[in-house]
């Protein structure tokens, strides 16, 4: 299978939809693009990243611990950048429709956001069993994951109150809103196969979701976060073509931290759309010999702050992956966060996302002193 450089796929920049946020009151000049790779230089510049004790945080009964809100030093910069951003269209191959922002969030802001989210969010190392070719297969997810959101049939309605003992912690009091179809509203036991109750999107991710919606003119109700701790963490070829996402879903995918290759290839002839499996490996890649006519593999070396918008027929017809990377002085070993925004249409989406991205296993949290993900229960015992 031949490869082409990413620049050969670029069409003229797509016209960006007008931003819809009320905060769009002025335009700012875009900062210079820093094309240097993720490096120790950035670590030095980002030493002012918020500490483990946030100035303000949000609590909810489904959160294992309060989740820090984005500090203004990060949120204000991101808002400015997203509201002026424009991407390059990649659509010269059959059934492919991508919008590539390279980058959307320049460094060092992107790396500050990476460090902030890695230290502030709970993560899980999910194990599950799937049926593949008629046999049960145990899967150990080769990355850390976490997810927030609720499907289209219902929505979270939250009011924030400040706790008495800590005025910096907002306590979300959550109920489920009535929908246009009350029969589909959330009721006890609706999500019977969920690994945990659906969790509201915390403000630090909701802010990014809302701004992305203004940028893309799409709407999302789920935010999935993957943490690739080393070059050995990966995700195999798959497509996000589950029925609960509807036809031709639009998925926004952010990269933060280490640069990792993002590979795409067309599904083999005859595989057809909508053949996704449960879990993380949704559509088998097929044999390397079966190449869809008129297509070649695409390789995008996604850097910190880059964003890919996958839309149109892309998910129905194309596969994508993050392959393993190894070797001495491997940049991938410094860690990468991927944030994807999606829209689940039915309860099956909610059940799937929590089962395969939270599961029933223990909570992990980043330990800054040890520079590794650790069991949250162990960290709590050490802190007394």
Q: Do 98 and 306 meet the contact criterion of CB atoms below 8 Å apart?
A: no
Q: Is 342 annotated as a binding residue?
A: yes
Which residues, 6+ apart, have CB-to-CB distance to 48 below 8 Å?
73, 112
- Chain-centroid distance of CA 136 in Å reads 28
Q: Is 241 annotated as a binding residue?
A: yes
Q: Is 336 annotated as a binding residue?
A: yes
Q: Is 199 annotated as a binding residue?
A: no
Q: Is 240 annotated as a binding residue?
A: no
Q: Is 95 annotated as a binding residue?
A: no
Q: Is 320 annotated as a binding residue?
A: yes
**Cis (ω within 30 of 0) for the bond into 103?**
yes
Q: Is 228 annotated as a binding residue?
A: yes
Residues annotated within the binding site for 2-oxoglutarate are 226, 228, 238, 320, 336, 340, 342
Residues annotated within the binding site are 226, 228, 238, 241, 320, 336, 340, 342
Residues annotated within the binding site for substrate are 241
């Amino acid at each position: 299978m031949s490869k082409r450089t990413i620049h050969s796929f670029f069409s003229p920049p797509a016209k960006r939809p007008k931003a819809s946020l009320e905060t769009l009151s002025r335009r700012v000049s875009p900062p210079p693009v820093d094309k240097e790779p993720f490096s120790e230089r950035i670590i030095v510049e980002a030493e002012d990243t918020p500490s483990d004790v946030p100035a303000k945080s949000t609590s909810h009964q489904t959160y294992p611990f309060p989740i820090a809100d984005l500090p203004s030093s990060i949120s204000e910069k991101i808002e400015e950048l997203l509201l002026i951003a424009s991407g390059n269209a990649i659509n010269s191959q059959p059934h492919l429709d991508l919008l590539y922002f390279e980058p959307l969030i320049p460094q060092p802001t992107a790396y500050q956001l990476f460090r902030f989210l890695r230290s502030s969010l709970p993560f899980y190392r999910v194990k599950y069993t799937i049926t593949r070719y008629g046999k049960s297969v145990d899967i150990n997810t080769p990355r850390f994951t976490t997810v927030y959101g609720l499907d289209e049939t219902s929505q979270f309605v939250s009011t924030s109150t400040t706790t008495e003992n800590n005025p910096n912690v907002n306590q979300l009091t959550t109920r489920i809103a009535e929908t246009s179809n009350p029969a589909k509203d959330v009721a006890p036991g609706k999500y019977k196969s969920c690994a945990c109750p659906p969790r509201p999107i915390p403000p630090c991710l909701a802010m990014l979701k809302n701004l992305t919606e203004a940028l893309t003119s799409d709407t999302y109700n789920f935010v999935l976060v993957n943490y690739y701790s080393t070059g050995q963490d990966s995700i195999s070829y798959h497509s996000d073509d589950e029925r609960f996402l509807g036809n031709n879903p639009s998925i926004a995918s952010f990269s933060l931290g280490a640069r990792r290759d993002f590979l795409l290839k067309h599904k083999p002839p005859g595989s057809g759309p909508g053949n996704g499996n449960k879990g993380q490996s949704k559509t088998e890649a097929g044999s390397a010999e079966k190449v869809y006519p008129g297509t070649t593999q695409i390789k995008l070396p996604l850097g910190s702050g880059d964003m890919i918008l996958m839309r149109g027929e892309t998910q129905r017809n194309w596969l994508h992956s993050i392959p393993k990377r190894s070797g001495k002085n491997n940049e991938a070993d410094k860690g990468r966060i991927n944030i994807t925004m999606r829209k689940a249409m039915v309860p099956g989406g909610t059940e799937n996302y929590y089962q395969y991205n939270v599961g029933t296993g223990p909570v992990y949290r980043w330990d800054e002193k040890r520079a590794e993900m650790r069991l949250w229960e162990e960290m709590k015992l050490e802190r007394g």
